Every structure is written in structure tokens, then in C-alpha cells.
Amino acid sequence: MRANLRRAARARTPDLLMVAMAGYVLLPFWWMIVAATKDNEALFASAPLWFSGRFSLWSNLAELLARDDGVFGTWIANTVLYSAVSGVGATAVSVCAGYAFAVLRFPFRRILFALLLGLVMIPGTALVLPTYLLLSKIGLTDTIWAVILPSLLNPFGVYLMRVYAEDAVPEEMLEAARIDGAGELRILRSIALPVMRPAVVTVLLFSVVATWNNFFLPLVMLSDSRLFPLTVGMNSWYRAAVTGTGGETLFNLVVVGSVVAVLPLVVAFGVLQRHWRSGLTAGSLRG
């Protein structure tokens, strides 16, 4: 009997550990949702992980959208613009470069790919100041291009597309298309892209999320508050709340704004996850 209990306990241990890890990961999100329903007074006076007597979510949202002549809506529009253009552009660059590294044979191919792997190891924040100096020379700082152009380069996306293209795109189909007279661009568009769709969606989502969450680059590049993305705009409100320069406490608006900023990413992951599932076994069925 005791041996059976020990075996049952050992069998349940992994499940309990997974539940504990899931709770640890979800705890900040739970706090953020609960805090978004409180006003400034209840935010610090009530229990941090449970709702207060007053449900202030709708008034917080109304105040959030009206604050500073509705600048939060401008920050959302800026973030959507930066993320959409940068995400699509970075994905297009990664697809073309990764396909070229995987399929084409050109001089210095191995050396260039080794340099690309080196770029993956360099943190993006280390390149922000040199990029600022470069863009300031051509007058692009404090414009939308100061955020979009640097975000078009995604070395990890190129690496991922190259690895996926080598495994998923059959060489026989490429050779047959070339014999039929198809050019490389047509082969990429008609043959490679449909097969590489899971990797394309992955790179697109990673690029969009990276730009959506980017803070240091727009912080350095932009000084006009009307061009701020959500990350920099919410940081300016947080600093005003901490220093008291905002005229009144802004912590509840910062919390509600954070919830609004996270929701589009949650929806994007939920909608696009089926494309990842379709590609999980793409390489395992090819001999």
C-alpha cells in the first residue's frame, strides 16, 4: 500500500511542478488584470491580488483615452504602424535572405552566413547608439523611419528561414521548376513560400512582437511625444506618476494602459498558433 502511494506521488510530481510553474508565470498577469479594475486609492489600499469594492475599470479606460487630449490613441496607432511595417518588412527581408542562403550558391556564402550568426549574438541595444549617429547624419531621427528602418534587420529571422528552407523545400521541385524556365523569384513565390508558411508566420510574429515591445530604440530616436509608441509613452506617464509632475497620480492609467497594450499580442498568438502546429512535423516526413 505504501509503495503504491509512493509511486502515485512520484507520478503526480511532474504535474504539480507544471501547475506551480504555470501559476508563477500567470501571477503577474492576474495582478495586472485585478489592478486595472481599481482606482488610485484602492490600488494601494486593498489586497494586491484581489478585487476591491469599487469596480473602476470602465472609468479608468475612459480616463486613459481622454488623458492629454487622447494621446494614448495616438500611441496605439504609432505602435500598430511601427509593428506592422517593420514586421512585414523584416519578414520579407528574412525570407529572401534565408532562401538565398539555403538554395543559391554564390561567392563568400559561408563567410557571410558566419557573420550573420555573429550578428545574432550581438544584443540590439548595443547597436542603438551607432544607429542613432548614422540616422542623425541623414536627418531621419525623430521620424517614423528612425524606428522602422533599424527594425527591418532580423538576423535570427534570416537564420530561421535558412534552416527551415533547407529542410522543407525539396531540391527536386526546385530543379524541375528551373528546367521549366521559372526564375528564382517565381520559384520563391510559387513553390518555396507555401512550404515555408509556418516559418514565415513565426518570423512575422516574432518581428511584430519585438517592435511592439521595443523601448530603447524609440526612446533614443524620438523626442516628439506624438511619435511615441506605447512603450515610451507609458514610460513617460510612469515617470510623471513617480515624480508627481503629472498633477495627479497616474498609476491606475499606467496599469490599464499596460493591459490594453498586451491584449493585441495575446490575440495575435491565439490566431496564428495553428500555423505553427501545421509546420511542427513538416521536416519529419521528408526522406
pLDDT at 85: 96
Cβ atoms of residues 142 and 222 within 8 Å: yes
What average pLDDT does range 79-101 have in this prediction? 94
Percent of the chain with pLDDT over 70: 90
- Cell numbers linked to 181: 524556365
Contacting residues for 72 by C-beta, under 8 A, at least 6 apart: 64, 65, 233, 257
CATH number of the domain that 230 lies in?
1.10.3720.10
Query: Phi and psi dihedrals of 113, rounded to 5?
Result: -70, -35
* Lowest mean pLDDT segment, chosen from 1-10, 59-68, 104-113, 207-216: 1-10
pLDDT tens, residue by residue, 173-201: 888 888 888 887 888 888 888 888 888 98
Domain count across the chain = 1
pLDDT at 278: 53
pLDDT tens, residue by residue, 43-64: 888 788 888 878 888 999 999 9
Cβ atoms of residues 46 and 208 within 8 Å: no
Dihedral sign (CA 15, 17, 23, 25): negative
- Cell numbers linked to 129: 547608439
Residue 272's closest CA among 148, 87, 72? 87
Cβ atoms of residues 279 and 197 within 8 Å: yes
In a domain, 14, yes or no: no
**106 vs 281, residue with greater confidence:** 106
Cβ atoms of residues 23 and 31 within 8 Å: no
Q: Which domain does 252 fall in, by range?
A: 60-279
pLDDT at 2: 63
pLDDT at 72: 93
State how far Cα 65 lies from the chain centre: 24
- The helix/strand count (H/E) of the chain reads as 15, 0
In a domain, 1, yes or no: no
pTM for the model stands at: 0.86
Question: What's the half-sphere exposure (Cβ side, CA atoms, 13 Å) at 100?
Answer: 15
In a domain, 42, yes or no: no
